[in-house]
Amino acid sequence: MQVYKFGGASIKNIEGIKNVTQIIQSFGAKNLLVVVSAMDKTTDRLQELAFAHINGNETRHEILESIKDFHFEIISKLFTDTKNPIYNDVANTFVEIEWLLEEDAEDAPDYLYDQIVSIGELVSSKIIAAFLNQQGTFCVWQDARNYIQTDNNYREANVQWEKTTNEIQKHLPSYLEQGIVITQGFIGNTSENFTSTLGREGSDYSAAIFSAALDAEKMTIWKDVPGVLNADPKWFDETEKIPQLSYRDAIELTYYGATVIHPKTIKPIQNKGIPLYVRSFIHPAELGTEISSEATTPPVPSFIFKVNQVLLSISPKDFSFIIEENLSHIFAIFHQNKVKVNTMLNSAISFSVSIDNDELKIENLIKDLSADFKVKYNKDMELVTIRYYNQQTIDRVTENKKVWLEVKSRNTCQMVMKNL
C-alpha cells in the first residue's frame, strides 16, 4: 500500500480539488491512504478565530462566517444536489466550534486553540471523500483521531507511538483492502479524548506516522513545486530540483528550515526504510525528488533563508565564563519558554543565538534570562544556512550584507546578517 499527502495549496479551490481527485483515481481503487490538510489558508484563518475567541474579541463571529462561506461556496459547486449529506455533515462540524464560541474562553488557550484549529482538516477531508464517492470512486473517510494518539501538549502534541501503531494496524488494513482511505493530517487525540494538533504544517508528519505503522511501500507528498529544490523559489530566482536526497540530507535541510517538508517527517520513514517522494500536483507525470537511504547523485549546494530573526547575546552579569553550568541554565530557560534556537555560538563570556521573532514568547524569554544574565538583542536579522557551501555560494548571499554571526561545520555554514 502507499500513502499520499495533499497540503492546503493543492486543494485551495474547485480546480485543485478536481485535480487531486484525478491524481487519487489514477492510483487505482484501493490500498491507498490519503492524508489531507485544511484547504488553502484555512488554518491561518482558524488560528485568527482561536486568538479572537481567547482574547474575547467579537470579530470571532465574522471570522467564522467567512470560513464557513468559503467552504460552502466550494461545496455548492462540487455537489449540485443540495440533499447530498455533505451539506449537513460539514454544517454539523462547524456547530462544534459555534458551541465553543458561545462559552467564555476559560479553558487553557492552547487547548482551545487545538479544538478550533483542527476543524479545517475535518471539513476538507469530508468534502474530498464525498466528492470521490460522488464520482464513483469508493472511499472510506476515517477520523485520524481514532488512530493518532498523543499526550496533551496542545499545539505541539507528542505522538504515543505504541498506542498509535496498534490502532492503525488493527483497523486500517481491512479498510484499505476495500477502497481508498481518506483521513486528516495535523490532528490527534489525547488520552482524555480531546483533539490535539501536532504543530503547524504537521500533516506531512501525520502521513509519515501512517506510512511507518502500515509499512507503506512508499509515501508521496504532492506539492506546488517540482520536488525539493536547492532553495525556496519564493526567495531565490535560480533554483534547481534535487532529484535524489538521502534521509540524512533531507533531515538536515528541514531542520534548518526548508519548509517544503515538516522536519519531523523523515525519522519515522527512515526508521522503516520507506522511500519518500516529493512531486508536483501541477505536473503529476513528472518524477520529483526521491528521498531514501542512499542518494547516488552528488549533493548540490542548498540555501535556506529565515527572515525576522532576533540575535540575542547573553552574558553572565559578573563577567564569569560561559561554561556548562551557565549553558544548561540558559537552555532550561529557552525550553521553558518553548523557544527554538536556530543557530548558536559562544565565546568566553558571551553566548549568542538566533531565534524567530515570536512576539508572544520573546518578551518573557528576555525577562527570564535577564534575572541572571545581561541580555542584548538585535531585531530584523536574516539567517542564511548553506548546506554544501563553498566561497562562491557564501559571496552570493552576503552581497550588500553585514554578517553578525557565522557558524561553520564541514558541510554547513550558517550566517546571521543584516542589510548594509
**What are the helix (H) ranges across 107-246?**
109-117, 119-134, 161-178, 203-213
The residue whose grid cell reads 508536483 is: 280
Distance of CA 259 to the CA centre of its chain: 8
Nearer to ligand PHD, 120 or 179 (CB): 120
Q: Which of 2, 8, 67, 129 binds ligand ADP (CB under 6 A)?
A: 8
List binders of ligand ADP among 221-240 (CB under 6 A): 223-225, 228-229, 231-234
CB 214 within 8 A of CB 172: yes
- Which residue from 275, 268, 269, 217 is spatially nearest to 244, judged by alpha carbons? 275
List binders of ligand ADP among 171-210 (CB under 6 A): 201
**Considering the rule CB under 6 A, would residue 203 count as an interface residue with ligand PHD?**
yes
Q: Which of 8, 188, 288, 316 binds ligand PHD (CB under 6 A)?
A: 8
List binders of ligand ADP among 253-292 (CB under 6 A): 258-260
**Considering the rule CB under 6 A, would residue 200 count as an interface residue with ligand PHD?**
yes
Of ligand ADP, ligand PHD, none, which one sits near residue 252, judging by CB under 5 to 8 A according to partner kind? none
**Considering the rule CB under 6 A, would residue 7 count as an interface residue with ligand ADP?**
yes
Q: Judging by beta carbons within 10 Å of its beta carbon (0-12, 13-18, 19+), is residue 351 exposed, middle or buried?
A: buried
Q: Which of 16, 179, 185, 288 binds ligand PHD (CB under 6 A)?
A: 185
CB 2 within 8 A of CB 273: no
Of ligand PHD, ligand ADP, none, which one sits near residue 10, judging by CB under 5 to 8 A according to partner kind? ligand ADP
Any bridge partners for residue 352, and if so which? 313, 345
**Nearest-angstrom CA–CA distance, 67 and 366:** 36
Of ligand ADP, ligand PHD, none, which one sits near residue 258, judging by CB under 5 to 8 A according to partner kind? ligand ADP
List binders of ligand ADP among 339-378 (CB under 6 A): none
Least distance (Å) from ligand ADP to the CB of residue 394?
18
Nearer to ligand ADP, 256 or 373 (CB): 256
Contacts of 56 (CB under 8 A, 6+ apart): 104, 105
Q: Which of 131, 141, 147, 186 binds ligand PHD (CB under 6 A)?
A: 186
**Considering the rule CB under 6 A, would residue 43 count as an interface residue with ligand PHD?**
yes
Q: Which of 202, 227, 301, 316 binds ligand PHD (CB under 6 A)?
A: 202
C-alpha separations of 243 from 193, 248, 276, 286, 295 in Å: 42, 15, 12, 11, 9
Q: Which stretch binds ligand PHD (CB under 6 A): 125-133, 195-203, 229-237, 329-337?
A: 195-203
| CA angle at 117 for the pair 111 and 119, rounded to the nearest 5° | 115
Q: Which stretch binds ligand PHD (CB under 6 A): 21-29, 100-108, 200-208, 282-290?
A: 200-208
Of ligand PHD, ligand ADP, none, which one sits near residue 85, judging by CB under 5 to 8 A according to partner kind? none
Q: Judging by beta carbons within 10 Å of its beta carbon (0-12, 13-18, 19+), is residue 48 exposed, middle or buried?
A: middle
Nearest residue relative to ligand ADP (C-beta): 7
**Considering the rule CB under 6 A, would residue 9 count as an interface residue with ligand ADP?**
yes
CB 227 within 8 A of CB 280: yes
- Which residue from 214, 179, 141 is spatially nearest to 32, judged by alpha carbons? 179
List binders of ligand PHD among 60-119 (CB under 6 A): none
What is the binding site for ligand PHD (CB under 6 A)?
A: 7-8, 37-38, 43, 120, 185-186, 200-203
